[in-house]
Amino acid sequence: MPTGFISIGSNIDKEIHIPSSLNALTKQFGNLIISSLYETEAVGFEGDDFHNLIVQFDSTLKAKAVAKTLRQIELDHGRTRDSRKYAARTLDLDLILFGNLIISDGRLQIPRDEIERYAFVLEPLAEIAPDFLHPISHKSYAQLWGEYDKSNLKQHKLPTDFL
């Protein structure tokens, strides 16, 4: 059964949408391993800070079915189908890894390049899966986080009781 990782982000009513999305994901996939919650400045646009985290799950579904499920959860949380990439959002759920799959099929990209580009994806991923290997670079997420340029890091971990 493949292990998957989902990046979760919200900057609109995040105190509602993040916990609600975790409930929806638990109903769909069962037990989740949940990273710490991080507060991150908006990237690519002016807007409220985001809350970001990563969850790990196991599923017998195919990657496309998981992605479709995530899209429905986003829509159930007020996300619109015409959402722009760099914009405020109620909920953003991205399947960033699924087993050792490498997929480039339209909107479905696994592994997501955001893993190595954005601290709000890599830091929580390295926290819950430090020894897992990136399917392309074959570096561990702990190693990738150790090599990440943190000189302009604009995020911080929130207290554990924040969720």
Which CATH number is 127's domain given? 3.30.70.560
pLDDT at residue number 162: 60
pLDDT at 11: 93
Sign of CA dihedral 107, 111, 114, 120: positive
Which range marks the domain in which residue 59 is found? 3-162
Share of the chain above pLDDT 90, in %: 78
Cβ neighbours of residue 131 closer than 8 Å, sequence gap 6 or more:
140, 141, 142
pLDDT, position 55: 98
What's the distance, CA 30 to chain centroid?
17
Summarised one tens digit per residue, pLDDT across range 27-44 is 999 999 999 999 998 877
Look up the pTM and report it: 0.93
- Backbone φ and ψ of 97, nearest 5°: -145, 145
Q: Per this entry, what is the length of the chain?
A: 163
| pLDDT value at residue 106 | 86
For residue 81, the model assigns a pLDDT of 60
- Residue ranges, the chain, pLDDT below 70: 80-87, 162-163
Q: What is the pLDDT of residues 77-100, one digit of tens each?
A: 987 665 556 667 889 999 999 999
Q: Give the pLDDT confidence score for residue 47 in this predicted structure.
A: 82
Count of domains in the chain?
Answer: 1
Predicted pLDDT at 17:
95
Within 10 angstroms of residue 7's Cβ, the number of other Cβ atoms is 25
pLDDT of res. 88: 77
